[in-house]
Structure 1
Amino acid sequence: MSPIILNIILQSTLQTLEMVFASTAISVVIGLPLALFMITTGPGGLYHLPFAARIVGILVDALRAIPFIILLVILIPLTRFIAGTSLGTEAAIVPLSIAGIPYFARIAEVALREVDSGLIDAVKAMGGTRLTIIRSVLIPEALPSLVGSLTVTLITMVGASAMAGTIGAGGLGDLAIRYGYQRFNTTVMMDVVAVLIVMVFIIQICGNALARWLKH
């Protein structure tokens, strides 16, 4: 492999990491409160607002139902408005985040539902406020599962960021299309696939290790 191609792969890998971690961070910052809202306002929740929980759930599921490649196109005007352009790494973070928010919200909701209701009842019996229950019971008890949810979201964003390369988002997906597919360079395509596989393995191993550490 030539030094030029190696340098391009390195730059594309850094662009992919930027897209993945930035969009995942936004997904967690917005998605976790959404998950908490759906948990605490749903049936048997701390706040009895089932209608509100249902509306938010419908919106979350509606966004999740849109294929990412279609979402990329639909969000081009919004991406231009926020990022000033629809091309490049920074622009790709917008649709990646909007796709990641409902995805993380749902799997975080599942993690939060696994918390033992007996612990919540015990804190209630001791006079704990709703905020105390959320802060001291729900989130800490669900933390290992939430880390698992974060790991899955990161890996999903890796795949989505590669797909974003079809609209010139940069990163490994763009590299595979421009230098691999369009120029019939199978070697570059296989190198990109190898880097993506290694990236996913590292994320999964680190996520599993952190989740195990939090359980002890």
Structure 2
Amino acid sequence: MNQRLSFLLGPGGLTASAFFAFKLLSGLEVFRFASKALPAAAAPELPEGWAYQRLSSLADLARLPAGTATQIAAQSGPEPERLLQRGCSIHVLLCGEAVVAQLNIETGPVCAVDDPKLALHLSAGDGFLGFLYTWPEFRRRGAAQLLIAATEQGMREQGLSRLVTHVRATNVPSMAVFKNLGCRFSAVVFSKTSGALVGSLGMGRLGLRALPAAGG
């Protein structure tokens, strides 16, 4: 009970609770979409022993130790090989051979979003961030925020100018991470609990279009 009360009274808790109540009443999931321009900035300072790595090709993946590659595959959504073959990049923080945190960046003009199931039409220069995950033993150490900051520099090197992402509206920790990094949440997408797209609001303001996934 105390944990639930802390959640309700904490930053973003009331908003998340409202979206959770909406889900209970309507049976719909709500995802909030955000964007952030990528100005030039220095790479973040990482804790001792941590390293940032961007995987852009199958060769990059093959150079990893087998255990590291297996760990990345467990939380990358689609298989890493499939992601890299379709032009995505995988960004990781490593502590030795252990994965600290990871995420995927996909570029347009259209990228597939798994949850909710939609085809996201991006603007030129956009990179869509998905599957952000911090491994449990490294949580509460700012790993997600450090990884995103390092990834932004990698995105600029790829010629991208804007980061786009989405978060389930009830996910307070992830919302806080992106807001602390300057992302503005200004659009929402509604889906059934199965993931099927129902509708969206404000996507045009972000220069995005959310359409049902093929076969969805």
**Same fold by TM (over 0.5)?**
no
**TM-score with structure 2 setting the length:** 0.27
Which structure has the larger Rg? 1
Larger fraction in helix: 1
**TM-score with structure 1 setting the length:** 0.27
Larger fraction in strand: 2
